[in-house]
Structure 1
Amino acid sequence: MRAAATPPWADVRDPAGAGRVADRHRASLDGDTTADVVVVGAGATGLWTAYYLLEADPAIDVLVVDASTVGEGASSRTTGWCAARFPVATETLASRYGAAAARELRAALRDTVVEVGGVTAAEEIACDFAYGGHLVLARTPAQSARLAEAVASARRWDDEVEPLDADEAGTHLRAAGTRTAAWTPDSARVQPRALATGLARVVEQRGVRVAERTRVLRVSPRAVVTDQGTVRCRHVVHATGATPPGVPGTGRAGAATDAVAIATEPLPAPAWHELGLAHGTTFSVASRRAVHGHRSADDRLVLTARAGAPAPSGAHARLRAALVDLFPSLATRAVTHAWRWPLDVARDGYASVGVDPAAGLAWTHGHAEDGTALANLAGRTLADLLTGTSSALTRLPWVGHRSPAWPPGPAATAMLTAAAWRAAWSDRTEQPASRPRTSRG
C-alpha cells in the first residue's frame, strides 16, 4: 500500500477520469499592500468567503493568502461528502440556544447542500458533484439502538430520514452484517480538491487576488504581517482550519486531530453491481468512531475515519481491515492510496463563525468532518457579517459562539488522543461475540 500526501485521483476533473486538474502556480505576495478584506487560507472556507463577498459587492478588494497553494490543506483531502451535518447534536444546540434556533440551523444546512450543487453547476466547476443521499449502517445491537434514536431526533427537527431494515438497506449498499440502516437525501459526493481549484478560478476572474506561498506571521487589528510583506486592511478572515494549528493573534479555538483515508484500485462494473453503491451516494457506520465511505468518480471505493492526534501507526492498516470487514469480496482488491489530514476540532465540539468588529477579525472554527458543507455556510455567513447585512444566516446559533480555548501543545494532543481511545474502546466492547474483534487503534 503506497502512502500519498494527496491521492492523484482526487484531481480528476471529468466523471470518466480522463483529465486532470492542472491548476496554475500563483505568485507570492510582493511586498506591502492594502486590501478591504484579507482572507488567510485558500481552502474551501476562504474561497467561499471571497466568492460571496464579491457576490454581495463586486467592488470589494479581496486578497487571499496561503502558506502553501490553493486547496493544498485539509480542504483537498477531506471526506468527499457534502452533507447537512453539524458536529454537535441538534438537541445540544436546542438546549443552549432554543428549539427555534436549532431548527433554523438544520434548515440552513439542508439548503447548503443545494447551494453548493447550484453554484458548482452555474459556475461550471468540474468537481464531480453528484446528489445521491447518505446511508448510515448499523451492524450491532448497540448501533441499531443509537441509530433508531438518531432517526427519531432527525424527524423532530424536520429532517427527511427513512429507517430501513437490512433488506431495504441492501437496495442502497450491500455491506456484511447490516442489521438496520437510515437514509437521507440531504447529501452529495464531491471532489474537494477540484472544488477548491475551481472556486479559485472563479474568484480570480472576478478580481480577487490569490497569493500562494505567503506565510502569515501575525494577525493584528487591521493588518496581516506575512513573510512577504504587510497587508493593511479593514477586515481579516481567519480561515485556515487546522492547517496550521494557529496563527498568532487568532486564538486557540480549534485544535487538530488526524483523519485517515484509503482508496482501492478502480473496481470493475461486476464488483459495483455486487456492492450496489450508486455514484453520489455516501455512507457511514453508526460506530462511536465512524467510518465514512463513497464511490469516487473513477470507481474507487474510498474509506475515511477519525484516527487520533496524531494518527497512530497502523491506522491505515486498521482502515483496510474495516474495508474487508464491511465488504469481504474486496479482500483481494488492491488499496493503492493512503493519506491523512488534520481535522479542526473545537474543545466543546461546536463549529462556530463570527466577527469581532473592534479588531476587524472574522473567523470560523471546528468544522471537523463536516467541513465541505460548513465551508459554504461559513462563507455566506461571513460575507453577510463583513458587509453589515442582517440576514437569516447571521442569526443562526453558531454565529458568535465562543468555544473554550484548548490548552497549549501536548495537553490538547493528550485530550484528543484520549477521546479517540475511548471511542475505539466503546466500539470494541459493542461488537457481538460472534464477530472477531479488530486490533486496537
Structure 2
Amino acid sequence: GEDRLLAGLTPEQRRASFDLLHAIPDEVAQVIEREGIDCDYRKGGVLYCAARYPEQEATLRAYLAKLHSQGLTDDDYRWLGPQQLAEQIRIAKPYGGIYAPHVATIHPAKLVRGLARLVERMGVKIYENSPVTHWQSGSLRTDKASVRASWVVPAVEGYATTLAPLGRYQLPVQSLIVATEPLPASTWDEIGLNRGQAFGESSRQVTYGQRSADNRLVFGARGGYQFAGKLRHNFDLTDSEVELRRYLFGELFPQLKKVRITHAWGGNLGMSRRFKPHMLCDHAAGIALAGGYGGEGVGASNLGGRTLADLILGLDTPLVRQPWVI
C-alpha cells in the first residue's frame, strides 16, 4: 500500500518516508542493545524469490521497477540473477529475486517478554487475562472493574472485532506457520541463509521464512479468512494445514520434504478495509489508535507506538507528519 500512501508526496518527502520505514530495524537494535534484551536479532536483509514459475520473475521485476520509479535505488532493492541469488539462498528452480538490506529477523515472543520486563522495571503495571468488555473516551470496563484513564489506546489490531466499533474498520485474517526440527550444518550448507536473512516466494500464497537462531527452518504462509470476518481461536493446525506448508517449502528445498516438523501455530492479524495502515490521535476524546498493518506488524507496531507517543505528547516530529497519520 506504500504506492497509494506516498503518491501525493514530493520526491524528497517520499524518500524521507522510506528512510523512516527502513530505519525501523536499526531503531529496534538500539533499544534491545541499550536495554539488554536478547531476542535473536539479526539484520541480514530479505530475499524476495522467483522460485517456481517464470511468471514470478516478471511480477518481481515489475515490482522492482515501481520501487525504483518512486526514488529508491539498488542500495534499497536490487535484482539478483539466479547465480547471485544462490550466494545467499539455494532454491530448486531459481529465476532470480530482489534483495533488500533494510530487514532484520527476531524472535518476537522474546522481544515482547523483554519489553514487558523493561516497562515493569520502570514502574508500569501490566494486567493480563483481564478482557476489556467495553471502552469509551476516558474509561475501560472489564468483568471485575472499571478503569479511568486520560488516554485510551486500543492496540488490538486483529482483535478489533471484539471492541465495537473498531471491527468496522479492520478485519481479522489468519497467518499460519511451522518450524522444523533443528537441521544439521551440512543441510544449511546446501541451503544458505547464513546471515539471518528472511525470505519469501513471490506467490499468491504469501510465503515467508527464515533460519532460526537454533537452526530450524521457520516457514509460514497466509492462512486465510474466516467467513464473516470471525476470529479464529483454535490454532492447533490441522494435518492438511501443516502439510500445505511442508509442500510449499519442499518445492523450494526438496531435501526438506521429509523433515520432521516440531512446531505449528498461527495468529489473527488486522487487515484494514482499505488496505492502508493508520495512526491517529484525538486529543479532545483522549483516544489514540494505530493499526491496519496487514501482516507487517512486528515492524509497523514499533513505528506506530513511537508515532502515537509523539502525537499524545503533542510533539512536532517527522513521525507525526507521515501520510499514514490521519
**By the TM > 0.5 criterion, same fold?**
yes
Where does residue 126 of structure 2 map in the other structure?
A: 210
Q: Which moved more, 1:307-316 or 1:150-159?
A: 307-316
Q: Does the Cα contact within 8 Å between 2:140 and 2:146 map onto a contact in 1?
A: yes
For the residues of structure 2 that align with 1:332 and 1:128, how far apart are their CA atoms? 27
In the superposition, the TM-score normalised over structure 1's length comes to 0.68
Where does residue 94 of structure 1 map in the other structure?
A: 6
Q: How does 1:40-439 map to 2 (within 5 A)?
A: 88=1, 90-95=2-7, 99-139=11-51, 140-155=53-68, 156-158=70-72, 160-243=76-159, 245-248=161-164, 250=166, 252-310=168-226, 314-400=240-326
Task: Give ranges in structure 1 of 5+ residues lacking alignment.
Answer: 1-87, 401-441
Task: Give ranges in structure 2 of 5+ residues lacking alignment.
Answer: 227-231
Q: Which moved more, 1:264-273 or 1:251-260?
A: 251-260
Q: Does the Cα contact within 8 Å between 1:260 and 1:339 map onto a contact in 2?
A: yes
In the superposition, the TM-score normalised over structure 2's length comes to 0.91
> 1:9-65: per-residue Cα shift (whole Å, max 9, x none)?
xxxxxxxxxxxxxxxxxxxxxxxxxxxxxxxxxxxxxxxxxxxxxxxxxxxxxxxxx
Q: Does the Cα contact within 8 Å between 1:93 and 1:102 map onto a contact in 2?
A: no
CA separation of 1:297 and 1:124: change in aligned 2, threshold 3 A: same
- Secondary structure of the 1:181 match is strand
Tell me the amino acid that sits aligned with residue 40 of structure 2.
Answer: D
> 1:270-329: per-residue Cα shift (whole Å, max 9, x none)?
000010111411001111232101011111001111121138962322111011111001
> 1:230-249: per-residue Cα shift (whole Å, max 9, x none)?
11111100101113633135
> 1:239-261: per-residue Cα shift (whole Å, max 9, x none)?
01113633135453211111110
Q: Does the Cα contact within 8 Å between 1:219 and 1:249 map onto a contact in 2?
A: no
CA separation of 1:372 and 1:157: change in aligned 2, threshold 3 A: farther
Number of positions where the alignment pairs a residue of Structure 1 with one of Structure 2: 312
- Secondary structure of the 1:187 match is coil
Tell me the amino acid that sits aligned with residue 153 of structure 1.
Answer: K
For the residues of structure 2 that align with 1:347 and 1:315, how far apart are their CA atoms? 26
Q: Does the Cα contact within 8 Å between 2:160 and 2:170 map onto a contact in 1?
A: no
Q: Does the Cα contact within 8 Å between 2:160 and 2:171 map onto a contact in 1?
A: no
Greater RCO, 1 or 2 (C-alpha within 8 Å, sep 6+)? 1
Matched-pair identity in %: 33
> 1:70-115: per-residue Cα shift (whole Å, max 9, x none)?
xxxxxxxxxxxxxxxxxx1x32223355655443321111111110
- Secondary structure of the 2:152 match is strand
For the residues of structure 2 that align with 1:143 and 1:251, how far apart are their CA atoms? 34
Shift of residue 125, structure 1, vs aligned partner: 0.6
- Secondary structure of the 2:269 match is strand
